[in-house]
């Protein structure tokens, strides 16, 4: 990896984290708002769906600075599914197998899911070969 590629990746990780904070705040605010009128589970589903749409556009434009497409939009929920599976399994392992306090287990499991969801979202937004630079792509085209 070149220094500029490393800086770009670090910047993406930081922006990914910021989007996560905004997304969590948006979800929670919408959940509380919808909870004034509908049952809590309905409020949760609505808030989750709307915050995921917002997260998609923030991730596309802000984190990876790429154009959103329908294909990316339809694949994006995989990042949430992966996050859900990792955190659910993580909470179980931490609480039932490692005797970690159930108050802290979700936070630890969520932190463990971040690298996986970052790589998955980056792959969805930028394509599977995100390590190649523009220069290497140009060299590949010119030499062939």
Q: pLDDT (tens digit, 0 to 9) for every residue of the chain, 144 residues total?
A: 566 667 788 889 999 999 989 988 999 999 999 999 999 989 898 999 999 999 999 999 999 999 999 999 999 999 989 988 998 899 999 999 999 998 888 888 888 888 999 999 999 999 876 544 443 333 333 444
Evaluate if pTM is beyond 0.95: no
Distance CA 65, CA 74 (A): 18
Please tell me the predicted confidence (pLDDT) of residue 4: 65
Please tell me the predicted confidence (pLDDT) of residue 37: 96
Please tell me the predicted confidence (pLDDT) of residue 144: 41
User: What tokens appear for 98 in the block?
Assistant: 């490692």
Distance CA 132, CA 144 (A): 16
Beta-strand ranges (E) seen in 52-94 are none
Distance CA 42, CA 2 (A): 47
Indicate the burial class of 39 (C-beta count within 10 angstroms; 0-12, 13-18, 19 or more): exposed
């Amino acid at each position: 990896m070149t220094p500029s590629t490393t800086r770009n990746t670090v910047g993406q990780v930081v922006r990914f984290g910021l989007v996560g904070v905004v997304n969590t705040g948006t979800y929670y605010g919408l959940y509380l708002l919808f909870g004034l009128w509908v049952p809590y589970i309905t409020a949760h589903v609505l808030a989750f769906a709307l915050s995921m749409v917002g997260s998609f556009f923030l991730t596309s434009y802000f984190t990876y600075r790429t154009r959103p497409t329908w294909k990316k939009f339809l694949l994006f929920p995989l990042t949430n599914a992966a996050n859900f599976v990792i955190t659910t399994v993580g909470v179980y392992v931490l609480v039932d197998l490692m005797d970690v306090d159930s108050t802290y287990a979700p936070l630890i499991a969520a932190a463990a899911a971040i690298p996986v969801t970052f790589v998955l979202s980056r792959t969805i937004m930028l394509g599977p070969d995100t390590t190649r630079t523009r220069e290497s792509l140009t060299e590949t085209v010119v030499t062939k």
